[in-house]
Amino acid sequence: MSIELWYWPDIPGRGEFVRLFMEGAEIEYEDMAREQDADALVEHMHALDGIRPFAPPYIVDGDLCIGQTAHILAYLSDKYGLGSGELETDLQLIQLQLDISDLISEVHSVHHPIASSLYYADQMDAAFERAQEFRANRIPKFLIHFDNAMAVHGGPYSLGQQWTHVDTSLFQVMEGLDYMFPNYMKKMQGTWANLEGLQAALPEIDGVADYLASERRMEFNEDGIFRHYEELDEQ
């Protein structure tokens, strides 16, 4: 039985972290709301009983319904035996995935510093200040952390020659930041060499290569998490 993925159909967003991992690992899944529409997702989510996900993405695997991106990835990695097979390292990979979740939340609040319920246009001044601080302090702090982590097993992947859920997520982070802040990321080129190495190496994985060349791969856009607004980039 294939995994059901439930996520908003028109943005890569957090769903893309789950999708990219399943594509790389060639796990069979159905992209439910893309086969139907956003209404089907809302309807499905409201019909769930018991302890429900707070928000998409979530997956349904037989009787199990699992929300929270990092949690989904830890579950799938474990189920399909795609971790290190060693407790200490597997815990560290989950920890890194949770660090990535924190970064992604901060990325979203760059263009929505006041309220996710308001339009970007209604919080542009605060977003401008927030973006400056984010580029100056937060991106370097997070990416140095991830770059160091990538060096631990020698690269190019998080476990050396073996890739994990951390690698597909960090690839998506680097692609997203390149889209969001092209000037800034170009200026910083070479600073996070291990992450750039990963970014180059990940598309060599068969499942990833097929996926990136397919229509299933969605482009970043200004309704998602990584958004390009020229005024928020390095000038």
- Work out whether 63 is an interface residue with a copy of itself (CB under 8 A): yes
List the one residue out of 24, 143, 43 whose CA is nearest residue 82: 24
- Work out whether 117 is an interface residue with a copy of itself (CB under 8 A): yes
Q: Both tokens of residue 211?
A: 């996926």
Alpha helices, H only, 48-138: 69-79, 87-111, 124-133
Position among 27, 53, 178, 229 found at the interface with a copy of itself (CB under 8 A): 53
* Alpha-carbon gap, residue 229 to 222, rounded angstroms: 8
Name which of residues 14 to 33 contact a copy of itself (CB under 8 A): none
Position among 2, 36, 148, 189 found at the interface with a copy of itself (CB under 8 A): 148
Q: Which is nearer to a copy of itself, 146 or 220 (CB)?
A: 146
Distances (CA, A) of 157 to 152, 165, 202: 10, 10, 8
- Work out whether 124 is an interface residue with a copy of itself (CB under 8 A): no
* Alpha-carbon gap, residue 192 to 169, rounded angstroms: 16
- Work out whether 42 is an interface residue with a copy of itself (CB under 8 A): no
Contact string 87-116 vs a copy of itself (x = CB under 8 A): xxx-xxxxxx-xx-xx--x---x---xxx-
Number of residues that bind a copy of itself (CB under 8 A): 43
Give least dist CB 93 to a copy of itself, A. Answer: 8
Residue given tokens 């998506």 in the structure block: 172
Beta strands in the chain (DSSP E): 3-6, 29-31, 58-61, 64-67
Q: Which is nearer to a copy of itself, 43 or 133 (CB)?
A: 133
Question: What are the phi and psi torsion angles at 69 (to 5°)?
Answer: -50, -55
Q: 217: which DSSP letter? A: S
Q: Which is nearer to a copy of itself, 93 or 208 (CB)?
A: 93
Give the gyration radius of the chain's Cα atoms. Answer: 18
Residues in contact with a copy of itself by the rule CB under 8 A: 50-54, 63-64, 66-68, 70-71, 75, 87-89, 91-96, 98-99, 101-102, 105, 109, 113-115, 117-118, 126, 129-130, 133, 137, 142, 145, 148-149, 152
